[in-house]
Amino acid sequence: MKKVIFGFIFLLLLAATSIAQEGMWLLTQTDQLDLSKKGLAIQTSDLYNKDKPALYSAILQVGGGTGSFVSPDGLVLTNHHVAFTALQRASSTSANYLTDGFLARTRNEEIKAPGYRALMVVEIRDVTGEVSEAAKGITDPTEKDKKVNAKIASMTDLIEKDKKDIKARIAEMFNGKQYMLFVYKEFKDMRIVYAPPSSIGNYGGETDNWMWPRHTGDFSFLRIYAAPDGTGAEYDAQNIPYKPKVWLRTTRDNLKENDFTFIMGFPGFTTRYRTSTSVHWNQEYNYPFSIRNYSEIIELCDELTGKDPSGQLKVASLTKGLANAMKNYQGKLEGMKKTNFLQKKLDFEKEFLSWANSNPANKEKYSTILSREKEQYKMLGNTKGRDNVYSNFQGLAGLQLSMAMQIYYIAKEMEKPEGERQPGLTEESIMEGQEELQYVYADYYEPVDKALLVRALKMAGSLAPGQRIAGLEYILSDDMHTIDQFADNAVATSRLNDLEFVKSLYKRSSKDIEALNDPFIKMAVQLYPLGEELQNTNRVFAANVTDIRKEYLDALFAWKGKNLYPDANGTIRFTSGRIKGYKPRNAVWYDPFTSLKGVVEKNTGIEPFDAPEGLVALSDKRDFGNWMDPVLKDVPLAFLSTCDITGGNSGSPVMNAKGELIGVVFDGNYEAMISDWQYDPELQRAISCDIRYVLYITQKFGNAGFLVEEMQAVR
């Protein structure tokens, strides 16, 4: 009965939504948001409809970000930085598509986007009852977690069975209060159509990253191909452009301040319902270590590839990804300290505890929640130094070690009973992983890989006695060989830089793999016990702390009676807001629009402010075509909105009140980097590339007006 009552209250609260722009809402909640009062001119059923395609059907999860269909022939618009890895993998020193850009003038010239796949949502369903039933009557959090994961695996396996282009995911919402099923159509053949040069697509580089005012033309076009019967098949010359049932039309209207906008995309992860314990952990340990770690690796890569264009190309995705994450963490850390965020959380929790202790019933149910969660974090705190260093050996200590650890781990897992394996590890997922290896090995650059291994080992060697990684002592305590000598010998004698040999290991037993006597395999075997220990510790921690956080959400509902949306978790979401500037600090105001003029003003001719001569000439001649904004008297470039976004939203389409495409999201502002933890309507802004700039660059600079015509966007 209690569950029924909670469910009723939960739905009631969702219906009583606030007028604030805050929220990354499930599509199943959009009809409860009073969007017509906020400015939406179409029906919510035009956004999402469980019975037929709607605008959501044009939204795709692509390359760690988002994209959208923008033509009847499968043309997809996303960010330049979302397509970055595809461009890098397709490039060579003689044809550098990152630096020079790429344009396919005919369909036959469109080239494969190596390793890229897209997911299109075809069904969303609440399956809370089915999933929760599997753990009914179980009180132990870890055992409950196992039963839930097993049920989820059986449900998704049933949906995917014998379907080559269907993927299913059941996502946990509100720390397990709700489970939502997402069924996707998977497209495996994506091709590059047009990408501007990095001097447009990455104009301003890391200097301008997360900053405003912004002048980056962060967009690229891809195309999805499918088998003639519409199946999402692998790359094949016989495949044809996919014909989406829904694609986004570009607006013919000009934008102005205070216009209503909305975004649909795949935001990554937020932590807005976390407590002070989690804030403290990230502020004091997680973010500082990650910032230092990534900074050192970027510096190492730059140093070793400075005079080698081939090396620069191979490590480009690694360094760009680390630089983006590092600046994100720097902004979060700075935001936390500047706003005294931890103390605000503590003050809030002081009020909460006062309420929790206000009567016997509340005290029994809620008064120990915070202290019990803090106890769970002590499990992680005891070995945080060792565990931080160990994390480098799981991908940031060179390709060969990474492969050795992955191969050995898979072999050991597959030897366990099916119910005890890592959730999601199946023969099919292993085969898919093998297919992706060709792209991983294409980025292999021996000097950097060897240096990463040496760096990780030296970090392990500097750990305090109580924090040592026992499995590495045979290397660290070897009086006959230095760490550098070990790395030289390991790289020279290992066969794990041979892609075909590595593929052959995936079906071997752990005993067979151990017998290879490969130096990296030996390291993987020695590190495996610690990996198992950490996996078990993290599994228990996650199960326990998730259970406690469910109680905390119960308490917040009981205390505040406030409407909540689930934290972002990589599933499709809706957010709305208005075009609006902001005040970052005293006596400073930022307008909500930038324009082409700003590109020229920033231009120094030196990277990252090296605007192409052709673009500067177009600006100087005021050759704006039909893309000039009547108020700006210039080609509009980027705009701000109060929409609520985070990582993963990159490439998301921005639409106006009529559901027409007005831009593509590519960033957030630095002053609101703490937004994963809290939404601040005064500071938080989504930064988007104006669709008029996308079309202007495509038509006037890129000489690809045929794409503008394909989008039916000619003015």
Give exposure, 467-489, as e/b (b: 16+ Cβ within 10 Å).
bbbebbeebbeeeeeebeebbee
pLDDT tops 90 at residue 328: yes
Q: Which residues of 188-199 are buried (b: 16+ CB within 10 A; e: fewer)?
A: bbbbbbbbbbbb
Question: Residue 484 falls within a domain, yes or no?
Answer: yes
| 434 domain-assigned | yes
Whether 338 is in a domain gets the answer: yes
Question: Average pLDDT for residues 154-167, to the nearest whole number?
Answer: 95
Q: How remote is the C-alpha of 218 from its chain's centroid?
A: 17
Residue 416 maps to a domain: yes
pLDDT at residue 247 greater than cutoff 60: yes
Query: How confident is residue 21, by pLDDT bands cut at 50, 70 and 90?
Result: low
Q: How confident is the model over 389-400, as a mean pLDDT?
A: 96
Answer yes or no: is 521 within a domain: yes
Instruction: Please give the pLDDT value at position 562.
Output: 64
Range 20-33 average pLDDT: 89
| 3-class state of residue 224 by DSSP | strand
Q: pLDDT at position 3, please?
A: 37
Distance (Å, whole) CA 201 – CA 517: 47
- Residue 684: the pLDDT is 96
State which residues form the domain around 465: 330-555
Beta carbons within 10 angstroms of residue 346's beta carbon:
15
Distance of CA 655 to the CA centre of its chain: 21
In the predicted model, is pLDDT for residue 8 greater than 50? no
Confidence of residue 433 (pLDDT cuts 50, 70, 90): confident
Predicted confidence at residue 16, as pLDDT, reads 36
Identify any residues that bridge with 664 across adjacent strands, giving them in sequence order.
653, 689
Q: What tokens does 466 get? A: 């109580």
| pLDDT (0 to 100) of residue 152 | 96
Q: Is 132 a catalytic residue?
A: no
Q: Supply the mean pLDDT for the chain.
A: 94
For residue 309, being part of any structural domain is answered with no
List, for residues 600-656, the tens digit of each pLDDT value. Answer: 999 999 999 999 999 999 999 999 999 999 999 999 999 999 999 999 999 999 999
Task: Indicate whether 399 pLDDT > 80.
Answer: yes
Which of the residues 218, 518, 567, 634 is marked catalytic? 218
End-to-end CA distance of the chain: 60
Catalytic residue (choose from 57, 68, 81, 290): 81
Closest CA to 655 of 666, 647, 668, 665: 665
Which of 261, 203, 221 lies closest to 594, judged by CA? 203
**Pair type for strands 240-241 and 189-195:** unpaired
Is residue 325's pLDDT more than 60? yes
User: 471 φ, ψ to 5°?
Assistant: -65, -10
Hey, is 532 helix, strand or coil? helix
Which pTM value belongs to this model?
Answer: 0.92
Q: What is the pLDDT of residue 486?
A: 97
Q: What is the mean pLDDT of residues 559-577?
A: 91
pLDDT over threshold 80, residue 561: no
The yes-or-no verdict on residue 525 having pLDDT over 70 is yes
Token code pair at residue 292: 């230092």
The reply to whether 464 falls in a domain is yes
Query: Quick one: average pLDDT of 74-103?
Result: 97
* pLDDT reading at 596 higher than 50: yes
**Would residue 215 show up in a list of annotated catalytic residues for this protein?**
no
What pLDDT does residue 569 have?
97
Active-site pick, 650, 652, 675, 688 = 650
- Bridge partners of residue 183, in order along the sequence: 123, 168
Output the pLDDT for position 6.
37
Specify the pLDDT at position 373: 97
Count of domains for the chain: 1
Distance from C-alpha of 523 to C-alpha of 514, rounded to nearest angstrom = 10
pLDDT tens column, 344-367: 999 999 999 999 999 999 999 999
Distance CA 329, CA 284 (A): 12
**In this structure, is residue 576 part of a structural domain?**
no
- Residue 280 bears catalytic tag: no
Placement of tokens 């949906």 in the chain = 159
